[in-house]
Chains A and B, each alone.
Chain A
Amino acid sequence: MIKEESERTIPVQRESMADYLSPLVRGIKPSGIRRFFDLVSMRKDIITLGVGEPDFVTPWHVREAAVYALETGKTQYTSNAGMPELREAIAHYLNDSFSVEYNPANELIVTVGGSEAIDLALRALISPGDEILIPEPCYISYSPITALSGGVAVGIETFAADNFKLRADQLQAEITPRSKVLILCYPSNPTGGIMTYEDWLPIAKVVEENDLIVISDEIYAELTYGSKHVSFASMPGMKDRTILVSGFSKAFAMTGWRMGYACGHPELIAAMLKIHQYTVMCAPIMAQYAALEALQHGLEEKDRMVESYNQRRRLVVKGFREIGLECHEPQGAFYAFPSIASTGLSSETFAQRLLEEAGVAAVPGDVFGIGGEGHIRCSYATSVTQLTEALDRIGQFVHKLKQG
């Protein structure tokens, strides 16, 4: 007893501010994309294919709705879960577009971007030591957030030869008694890969047999080319096992508004809402009004944007193939993920030299996890003129490399 008290009074010697930091935070590596960003921002006159957001500005009617919300004094908190009319509109839209039915009263919450929804879901689910299965290459946040919540991220490599689809045997091979959550992101950033109904069936079986919970990040759901997106939550028996995460950023060109949402079993959503109400209270009200306008009157505009991405996708894929870089057919999102292995360079060296010698920025694939090495991520959400010029420059650069 006495000893304990005396221990408490002796101050711990901390030599630098870093010693104050939580070991969990200290353990997180800075993002590779950040390092590359610093390189790019020192350069002028470059063409960037590194941007992970639409090149459209949010449609004017949506912006105007937010202006009107401000003019009419919509400056308060909303209900923690989001405005009821917005939740209803989202539920209606999800049912219409992807045949998934959620009760807006207790199975859906509006979040600050899809990012917050992923954070909430992982924090709500993870006990220390739980294993979180993550098909890679993938969006860069899953593994750090998993670590912050005390979980252990287990990467599952996917391959260009499979169009970066997740295969059931690969998933099965990584399952241990500690496996708890599978994070899915299809259509995929950075690969553009998608999963069809037939692709999902065996995955759903493994999920069921191993009693997993799925966090399905479907932020690119609207951006598929050729076949319509199949939500994992719409697979037989999967609704209650799935937390569906999505948002307005990609489909409606609304990245800066930070409007996302999560849907799922009422008990899971209630747990997520508990974290949400203590951490952020609610998503910004004016952005919620903008999102409502987007769902009510923005679907046609969205279709036009999707068509425009599709045209540019064809241009870029053909361009890479003509250059002699292997490029699988990306069927979703707005990224091509060509292989640069034939040049003999690593992703990082290739991207760095491409930037320095050709003035084109593309993100080295290794920052997206295992399976990303040997590729670069090229966003085609940029103008046709810029894309054509970028392809010309990449072509000359690769030609020069291959000649010696």
Chain B
Amino acid sequence: MNELQLKVLELLKEDARRDAELIATMLDEPLEAVKQAIAEMEENHVIVKYATVVNWSKVDDEKVTALIEVQITPERGRGFEGIAERIYLYPEVKSVFLMSGAYDLLVEVEGKNLKEVASFVSNKLSPIEAVLSTKTFFILKKYKQDGIIFEEHEGDHRLMVSP
């Protein structure tokens, strides 16, 4: 990663719709260099995807999300990788983190309702042989995710014109 790529990432992280031309202007860099930096990062999967941050609580068909602490027995030679993969390949699973501390994997699962998530845990997750235990926590409200505040209250309180 070079310095330009880092700067480009910062600007894309704020708003993924910014195009190369806008970014080149904002950074005072040649357009071609910015285009190349983006292409390289896409190629290397530094930029994995341009997705939208959605506040699902504003959408009518609301979803249910749970964080599940999973304790597992690691496999000889592969550690946690194989089990983690078996878990993250399920489309219901939104994120998986390997954690330090009292449990091993933190799994974020999304479903249409409580029942669907509960069924995923008892029918898919728990039966995996290496899984020793699970603890499920349902998310009641998301305030902030990935540095983005969902309901910003600060707003712009400035006067329209000031000296």
Contacts and interface: CB of A to CB of B under 8 A. Distances in A.
Interface of A: 31, 33, 36-37, 40-41, 46, 48, 50-53, 55, 57, 139-141, 189, 311-312, 314-315, 318, 361, 363, 384-385, 388
A33 B22 CA distance: 32
Given A51-B160, A55-B158, A384-B26, 15 more contacts: A31-B163, A37-B159, A37-B162, A41-B160, A41-B161, A53-B158, A55-B156, A139-B163, A140-B163, A311-B26, A314-B27, A361-B160, A361-B161, A363-B161, A384-B15
A388 B11 CA distance: 15
Given A57-B154, A384-B15, A314 B25 contact: yes
A312 B11 CA distance: 12
A159 B28 CA distance: 26
A53 B161 contact: no
Given A315-B25, A315-B26, A51 B161 contact: yes
B26 A48 contact: no
Interface in B134-154: 154
A37 B156 CA distance: 17
Contacts of B156: 55
B160 A311 contact: no
11 contacts: A31-B163, A40-B161, A50-B161, A51-B158, A51-B161, A52-B162, A53-B158, A311-B11, A315-B22, A384-B18, A384-B26
B10 to A, nearest CB: 9
A55 B158 CA distance: 8
Nearest to A58: B154
Contact of A37 (B22, B27, B154, B160): B160
A33 B161 CA distance: 8
A301 to B, nearest CB: 14
A318 B160 CA distance: 24
A52 B163 contact: yes
B162 A318 contact: no
Nearest to B17: A385
Contacts of A384: 15, 18, 22, 26
B86 to A, nearest CB: 41
Of B25, B28, B158, most A-chain CB atoms within 10 Å: B158
A388 B160 contact: no
Contacts of A312: 26
Contact of B160 (A40, A139, A315): A40
Of B15, B22, B25, most A-chain CB atoms within 10 Å: B25
Contacts of B163: 31, 33, 52, 139-141, 189
A37 B158 contact: no
